[in-house]
A and B are shown apart, each in its own frame.
Chain A
Amino acid sequence: MTTPALRPAASVPLAGPPNAHLVKIRDLIYQVAGIFQPDNKLRFLEDRCQRRMKEVGVATFRDYYDCLTVKPIRQAELVSLLNEITIGETCFFRNQAQLEALRKIVLPKVLEAKGKLPLRHLRLWSAGCSTGEEPYTLSMILLEESVGLLKGWTFEILATDLNERSLVHCKQGAYGDYSTRNLTPFYQQKYFVPAGNQLQVSPRLKECVNFSRVNLFDDARVAFMKSMDIIFCCNVLIYFDVVSKRRVIQHFYNNLLPHGYLFLGHSESLYGICDDFRLVHFPSATGYVKAERQIAKR
């Protein structure tokens, strides 16, 4: 059963000009966390702010803006607000445009870059995999391509998270309606088995993903994640301060092979964080490549 609080953001037009402090909150979130709410999602942001405002006991957006900027609770409150904004987003096949770009554009480019190498093997990393929907989704896509584009190639998906309970959930691999809402009957039947009122990931799918606990602040551990072709790190870096974010991004840069790709959340940006990555556009999606590779191409 769908939990109303968890429904993804809908585009609802505003009845009048946006509240100036709501816009300031939107801009603050972008500046500090790197996640952007476009104008057609301001109603959603307004709703989420109002939930938090009730919790902290303030009545106006202006006062709530102070909670996020000058009051002692500001850091904790920003985390709470980010949780409200991103809650309910994790599910299988969450970002269809991003996955379409992976399948039709990115994978062919990566294969072309690696084509002359003797080892025909791909490494993908789901950094901050939460309850596992993302790495299992990536597995399904690569398994589907294994008879076509990826014929003759092997792959591994490394999925890491800080939260032990999330990792237990990943390894168990049982998911309810909400999480599986984007699964077509094709994928449900091929990669899942019914388990009561849930769907259980099939053994074939499970064996493609290697789950482990990694703290992205642990430099030595993160540096170990070498030779990656593609890294997904969606809605994780938004919780990091600028210094930490820069450090993690620098690690990702070193983790990735020269042709590598970095994917973030749908409305997440690296602007102001790192010039070593260059933004690239796909149909209705964005990603990042190593900047020096773009320069070398000119």
Chain B
Amino acid sequence: MPTTTAKEFLLANLNKIEQIPSIPAVVAPLLHYLEQPIDQLDVQKVVDLLAQDKSLTAQALHLANSPLFGHWKKIDSLKGTVVALGFQRLREIVVSCSVVKLIPLGTTQLDPVVFWEHSLGCALICRHFARKINFPQPEKAYLGGLLHDLGIIVNFWIIPKEFGTTFETARNEQIPLHEAELRVFGMTHCDSGRILAERWDLTPDLVNVVTYHHDPAAAPDHKSLVALVNLSDLLCRIGGIGHGYSEMRQVSLLDEPAFSVLIQECPALKQFDWARFTFELEGYLDEVRSLVRHLYGTA
């Protein structure tokens, strides 16, 4: 297929974006509400907003009780979640539950369990990484990691056949998905993701993550957040929670463009223990898999 055809085809089929299941109605208002300074936030207001969606509430409580969200004592209410874990963690939990079912089980082109293991794994690594290197805006790290591959969801819904072909190419050649996309499509899931991110009215930093996570230096703004997600994504893919296959290559993180971007914001990266961080990832995998299985109701 000529490299421009898929791009044109995607743009011509943008109306199909309506087919993508919507995220719960409470999510966008919640995200915007939580952008305000913390001393202006009202716990009860947040609880009342979320309580409108009972299914979301139930899922959120399950995640709140996972050690990956940092709490061992049992939490049995939304208010308890906010009080025990804070607004930031609640935001992470709510968005996680909201997006996970955007890909139905039983599809052939994209295994939703694999996809969300990757996204949730990336989210947790971003959060962990941000904390370790004293990243200035850690509260967005998790969401950036969770949502970075939205474009894959777009491609799955709008151009499923072409998406399937690209995925098979990447898998068979054991190369990164975005490299296969460039070769087959002339564009990547970053381009498609931007469309959905803007449609969902995500905040500008998250739109930039979705759009530029494979080319952080090109981001017009929030470069360091984008670079953080880029490196976390890479660590996931090379560490066994990628897109369901191994990218057969050697990666030198210090040579990655994202490293040069991120170290400007976070000098602590100079002394970063990459080996230990890599080993720590192993500790997340089982819990990530368990969480995703639960969210799909297949536990």
Interface of A with B (CB < 8 Å)? 11, 13-14, 16-17, 30, 36, 38-41, 101, 104-106, 109, 267, 269-272, 278-284, 286, 289, 294, 297-298
Contacts and interface: CB of A to CB of B under 8 A. Distances in A.
Contacts of A289: 252
Nearest to A283: B246
B283 A41 contact: yes
- Which residue, B239, B278, B286, has most C-beta atoms of chain A within 10 A? B278
A173 B280 CA distance: 36
B252 A283 contact: no
A271 B276 contact: yes
A280 B238 CA distance: 11
Contacts of B238: 281-284
B253 interface: yes
B239 A284 contact: yes
Q: Which 9 A-B pairs have the closest CB atoms?
A: A38-B283, A39-B283, A269-B275, A283-B246, A281-B251, A36-B279, A17-B72, A38-B282, A271-B273
A289 B278 CA distance: 17
Q: Does more than half of chain B's interface fall in helix, strand or loop, or is it mixed? A: helix
B179 interface: no
6 contacts: A36-B279, A40-B284, A105-B248, A281-B251, A284-B246, A298-B255
A289 B254 CA distance: 12
Q: Chain A: interface secondary structure?
A: mixed
A105 B250 contact: yes
A278 B251 CA distance: 11
B285 A278 contact: no
A49 B38 CA distance: 44
Interface residues of B, number: 30
A105 B249 contact: yes
Contacts, number: 86
Interface string B236-266: 0011100000111111111100000000000
Contacts of B254: 278, 294
Contacts of B283: 38-41
Nearest to A268: B275
B287 interface: yes
A109 to B, nearest CB: 7
A289 B274 CA distance: 14
Q: Which of B250, B252, B280 has the most CB of A within 10 A?
A: B250
A142 to B, nearest CB: 19
B285 A40 contact: yes
B287 A13 contact: yes
Given A13-B286, A13-B287, A269 B247 contact: no
Contacts of B253: 279, 281
Nearest to A106: B250
Nearest to A282: B250
Interface in B180-238: 235, 238
A175 B253 CA distance: 40
A109 B248 CA distance: 13
A39 B278 CA distance: 12
Interface string B266-294: 00000001111011111111110000000
Contacts of A109: 250
Given A39-B283, A279-B252, 15 more contacts: A38-B283, A39-B284, A41-B282, A105-B248, A267-B282, A269-B279, A271-B276, A279-B274, A280-B252, A281-B253, A282-B249, A282-B250, A283-B247, A283-B248, A294-B255
B280 A38 contact: yes
Contacts of A298: 255
Contacts of A294: 252, 254-255
A271 B286 CA distance: 26
Interface string B163-182: 00000000000000000000
A11 B282 CA distance: 10
A269 B277 CA distance: 10
A279 B250 CA distance: 10
